[in-house]
Copies of this chain bind each other. A is one copy, B any other.
Amino acid sequence: MELRHLRYFVAVAEELHFRRAAERLNISQPPLSQQIQTLEAEVGVQLLLRDRRGVELTAAGKAFLAEARHTLGAADHAVATARRVAHGELGDLSVGFVGSTMYGRVPEFLRAFREERSEVGIRLRELTSSEQMDALQARQIDIGFLRPPVAAAGITVETLFEEPIVVALPADHPLAGSPRVDVRRLREEAIVTLSPQDAPGIAAATDNLLAAAGVVPHVAQIVTEVPTAIGLVASGLGVAFVPESLMTLNRTGVVYRPLAGRRQTVRFAVAYRTRDQPPVVSAFLELARAAVPT
């Protein structure tokens, strides 16, 4: 049995007239009769009563008509669904992100994308930058939000923008009152730093800042995620250098101050497999690129 048989049967059942049904199907009447006969033989059941005065459905024919319509609808739906997935209108998207990006632009991207493509399901996973590279290669995620430098075979890392580093101080710190902070004045401070393996971008920026100021850091604690570092600052353990966007994390006991002197930035990037992307990915990337100022 083929869909042709179902299409023909539905046409005859609707017209209750072989010649008219054949016209509708753009074939002549004899092959239509033949195909219906073949169908009835295969089902093994009489579906139509021909009584010289038009056609009538048997009880089995009525039941089959409903099911045949459903089958044809399912076939159309299969095609439509595949097309929509191919056009990125429908599908699933797994997104990885490092903790520090959830206070910046990522939530904005996600909200905008959900509005534009309400039928794309988004799954979020918090991962470090290097974990994201592995997850991208293993196809566990399709897009990653992370901070370079980071690289892996088959993965494109595309910087979306740069943002300055600011310093997070305990609220009761003497320098908390200054509009800008000179790194050299932090010479005696304990510093909470990020692990170079897990947050290479921020770790390198911190090193640069301190080296440029000729400061040898007293490392109070090495942590994996920026929000953790800010938590430790709040508890008075030391100061931390963090990306500007983290200022939206208004934690009691912490103040953020811009740095005096040469501006030090960290990059914010999106990463994706260079090949074998689901179609939704390119739509998401375009949205993210459009959302950041050139």
Contact = CB atoms under 8 A, between A and B. Distances in A.
Contact of A67 (B3, B63, B67, B77): B77
Interface stretch (A20-28, A45-53, A207-215): A45-53
A45 B86 contact: yes
Interface in A11-46: 42-46
A256 to B, nearest CB: 42
A95 interface: no
Interface in A57-103: 58-64, 67-68, 70-71, 74-75, 77-79, 81-83, 85-86, 90-92
Nearest to A88: B59
A278 interface: yes
Nearest to A46: B86
A75 B61 CA distance: 14
Nearest to A40: B82
Contacts of A85: 45, 59-60, 62-64
Greatest chain B CB density within 10 A among A45, A90, A91 is at A45
A1 interface: yes
How many subunits of this chain does the assembly comprise?
2
Which bucket holds chain A's interface residue count?
A: 35 or more
Nearest to A59: B278
A276 B49 contact: yes
Contacts of A64: 78-79, 81-82, 85
B1 A79 contact: yes
Contacts of A77: 67, 71
A4 B2 contact: yes
Contacts of A82: 43, 45, 47, 60-61, 63-64, 67
Contacts of A75: 1, 3, 6, 71
A164 interface: no
Interface of A: 1-4, 6, 42-47, 49, 58-64, 67-68, 70-71, 74-75, 77-79, 81-83, 85-86, 90-92, 276, 278-280
11 contacts: A58-B86, A60-B82, A60-B85, A63-B81, A63-B90, A64-B82, A64-B85, A67-B74, A67-B77, A68-B78, A71-B77
